[in-house]
Amino acid sequence: MNEENNGTPKNKWSRIFRKKWFFPAVYLTIAALLLSLVVWYQNLGNQIDETQEEENTEEYTPVEHDEDAQPVMDQQEIIQMPVENMDEAEIVTKYYDYNADQEDQENAIVVFNERYYQSTGIDVAAADGEGFDVLASLSGTVTEVKEDPLLGNVVTLTHENDVTTHYASLGDVQVSADESIEQGDVVGTAGENLFGKDNGTHLHFEIKQDGQDVNPESYFNQPLSELDEAVAEDEESGNENAESEGTEEDAESDEAEVGPPLDMPEEGDPASDRDADDADDADDAMDEEEAPDNENETEDPDAEE
């Protein structure tokens, strides 16, 4: 009996080992344990990384200079339209650009006293033809306030980078010379003038860089530094146009003038009066020379008879 009892456990294990499902079950159990260990290790690594990131964030202290640092673009003013709401206004006369298409160039010609002038700025008028407030396009200092017989009231502002802006055809002027104004301040109201009488109530606006005209439409909503490249480009295009059109300008200098409206001669200028007197004297001399010729022509038939 004892031998039979001692052999029973061995027989049980041997019977279990002989089962087909035993070893696959062992393999699955071991695989499950290994997989659990891998998942646990990965979770532990993620927790360590998150803890290190939180510690680094808590230890970071900003440098003093970071608080005062500002982007360069924020330090420069953006050139704005000289009106409060451009949706209610329109540009009735454009800036004359040699590189523009023919339609824009025709829209940039001003006719005054039966003569043609190239516009050195833009004319802005309200859509309903009424007056409107004229705003400072840039912050600056008022260097000149004058009343011009052709251009109406004119205000000139100086700005950084040798930039000047001109506001002409003003009705009421609300600034004075040597006054510092901020961008968006009211300079005056739109009015009328003789030079642009066809446009009715309007504003004539110009931008100059180093004394040279630039197209205001090209630089609205642009930083002031963009004007630095304008002079070089305009000089190159101006030199090319001067070389190609020099002969035509010499031949037709009396019919086409290229000069900024702000520097036009005023009516009653002694120089213009002298030119008119010289022209009249020349016409009288030509009439006197033609008179004897006409008399000789009438006497020829009598001489033949």
Residue 267 covered by a domain? no
Quote the pLDDT of residue 262: 44
Confidence of residue 29 (pLDDT cuts 50, 70, 90): confident
pTM beyond 0.85: no
| Beta strands per DSSP E along the chain | 89-93, 109-112, 115-118, 122-126, 133-135, 140-148, 152-158, 163-173, 180-181, 186-190, 203-209, 212-214, 256-257
Q: What percent of the chain has pLDDT over 90?
A: 39
Residues 32 and 166 in one domain: no
Residue 304 included in any domain: no
Indicate whether 181 and 90 sit together in one domain.
yes
Strands 122-126 and 180-181: unpaired
* Residue owning tokens 């200028």: 269
51 and 90: one domain? Answer: no
Residue 127 lies in a domain: yes
Check whether residue 90 and residue 51 sit in a common domain.
Answer: no
Range of the domain at 48: 2-55
Nearest to 143 by CA among 125, 133, 152, 155: 155
- What's the mean pLDDT when you consider all of the chain? 75
Q: Is the pLDDT of residue 3 over 90?
A: no
**Looking at the structure, do residues 112 and 46 belong to the same domain, yes or no?**
no
Distance of alpha carbon 215 from alpha carbon 108, whole angstroms: 11
pLDDT tens-digit readout, 216-229: 999 999 998 888 77
Q: Mark whether 190 and 144 lie in a shared domain.
A: yes
* Mean predicted confidence (pLDDT) in 71-86: 78
Total residue length of the chain: 305
Mean pLDDT, to the nearest integer, of 233-239? 60
- As a whole number of angstroms, the distance between CA 269 and CA 130 comes to 33
Query: In 10 A of CB 300, how many CB atoms?
Result: 8
Task: Specify whether 136 is located in the same domain as 189.
Answer: yes
pLDDT at residue 252 above 70? no
Total domain count, the chain: 2
At residue 293, the pLDDT reads 47
Distance in angstroms between the alpha carbons of the first and the last residue of the chain:
187
Asked if the structure places residue 81 within a domain, the reply is no
Q: DSSP string covering 87-128, please? A: GGEEEEE----TTS-HHHHHTTEEEETTEEEE-SSEEEEETT
Least confident of 52-66, 197-211, 254-268, 271-285: 254-268
Q: Please indicate, yes or no, if residue 20 is contained in any of the structural domains.
A: yes
pLDDT computed for residue 119 by the predictor: 94
Tokens at residue 234, please? 């305009």
Residues 98 and 217 in one domain: yes
In a domain, 303, yes or no: no
State the CB neighbour count (10 A cutoff) for residue 36.
10
Domain of 143, CATH number, reads 2.70.70.10
- Domain co-membership, 105 together with 11: no
Within a 10 A sphere around the Cβ of 144, how many other Cβ atoms?
A: 13
Residues 90 and 210 in one domain: yes
Answer yes or no: is 169 within a domain.
yes
Confidence of residue 302 (pLDDT cuts 50, 70, 90): very low
Q: CA-CA distance, 305 to 295, in Å (whole number)?
A: 17
Kindly state whether residue 274 falls inside one of the protein's structural domains.
no
